[in-house]
Amino acid sequence: MGRFDKYMLQQLLMLFGFFSLVLALVFWVNKAVSLLDWLMGDGQSASTFVQLTLLSLPTILVNLLPIAAFAATVYVTNRLASESELVVVQAAGYSPYRLARSVLIFGAIVGVMIAVLAHMLVPLSQRELDLRRAEITRDVTARLLTEGSFVHPVKGVTFYVRNITAAGELEDVYISNTRTEGERQGFMARKALIVKDDTGPMLLLFDGMSQVFDLEDNRLSVTRFDSFAYSLAGLLNTNPNQRRTMRSTDSVDLLSAGPALLTELNASRLEVLAEVAQRTNKAVQGLVICLVGFGALLIGGFSRFGLWRQILLAILLLVIVKSLDNGFGGAIDDDPRLWPLRYLASILAVFMALALMWKAAHPRLRPRKADAVRDNRGEAR
């Protein structure tokens, strides 16, 4: 690797880290807002929020790293062109294909990072995220025990507790259940305890009464009780069975999946191949869109007015590649037998990059006629 290649690669990696950090913060904040709203509604702690946001970070990174790599490539190439550094090295004998060596190495580094994320880290984080979400769903204390607040664990159910003693007793409890069609149920008790049973958590109510209002007859039935057991199993959806999904299974297990795992995933062999192809294509796109951005700016040469037209062209080509990839992805979702089409957009991007670099290597093919006309006009004058 030459000195200029090392210099350009260093610039690319530095700007790649900057754009990755900025984009990660933007996407992370957007994700954290919705996550924080859900966790606050369930009464979770700040540590739970931090854990879930960190587990969602690999999924965010695997989608934004190709865009960050493209932005870094376009920015560095534009700066080198505006400062005439590319003109100098081209005058020294560097062809566009030779200049693309550092971009190719940079894209390969980004592709390896995306491959590790897509095939290993994202499924692992998704698996842990599913487990944490299931634990939160089964956490009765966090979902119900909020002093002085009306909470709604599920639609149609309202729960209120005035105070929780140091011994774990609930004081002045109120439950409203409107999920049963045609009637409304209400339970009030001076004290209550939450205990675990074989069928799920139970709420033991003491010294209270139950009210059932019939909406059709407009009749209210009131029953006083010394003790009453109220099941929370159906209320909180505490089913501990969690099935594995393809998103939470790494690519090695998917490719070596037997009939038992395929049954658990509720997927066919073709769907598994389509999922692995999608993950691999993300890594490939991390490389090819860098070459597309570099080739689009390279055809501009040196201009004191900047390369804004070439930048717009690079963005347009990126949009075309991503749109084709999304279109093929929709077709593959409908028919997994078409999974080889997943790589078609990336192959097209490679041909785009080669065509742009070929154009940069032959800049005088088209303008010769115009130059001849200008020369003839000069001689006539």
pLDDT tens for each residue of 71-103? 999 999 888 888 878 878 877 878 888 888 899
Confidence (pLDDT) at 217: 82
Would you state the structure tokens that stand for residue 181, as one six-digit string?
Answer: 């069609």
Residues contacting 173, CB < 8 A, separation 6+: 159, 160, 161, 162, 187, 188, 189, 191, 192, 203, 205, 208
Q: What is the mean pLDDT of the chain?
A: 81
Confidence (pLDDT) at 16: 93
Q: For the chain, list the strands marked E by DSSP.
A: 157-164, 170-177, 183-197, 200-214, 219-231
pTM of the entire structure? 0.71
Contact present, 187 and 219 (Cβ < 8 Å): no
Confidence (pLDDT) at 380: 44
111 has a pLDDT exceeding 90: yes
152 has a pLDDT exceeding 80: no
Q: Give the neighbor-by-neighbor strand order of the sheet with 219-231.
A: 157-164, 170-177, 183-197, 200-214, 219-231
pLDDT tens for each residue of 19-53? 999 988 888 777 766 666 555 555 555 667 677 77
pLDDT tens for each residue of 257-267? 888 888 888 88
Contact present, 214 and 205 (Cβ < 8 Å): no
The residue-averaged pLDDT of 233-249 equals 66
List own/partner pairs for 138-147 with CB under 8 A and 24 or more apart.
138/236, 138/238, 138/240, 139/42, 139/44, 140/194, 140/201, 140/232, 140/236, 140/238, 141/194, 142/42, 142/43, 142/44, 143/42, 143/43, 143/236, 144/194, 144/232, 144/236, 145/43, 145/170, 145/194, 146/43
Distance from C-alpha of 162 to C-alpha of 169, rounded to nearest angstrom: 11
pLDDT tens for each residue of 160-188? 888 888 777 888 888 888 888 888 888 88
Confidence (pLDDT) at 36: 62
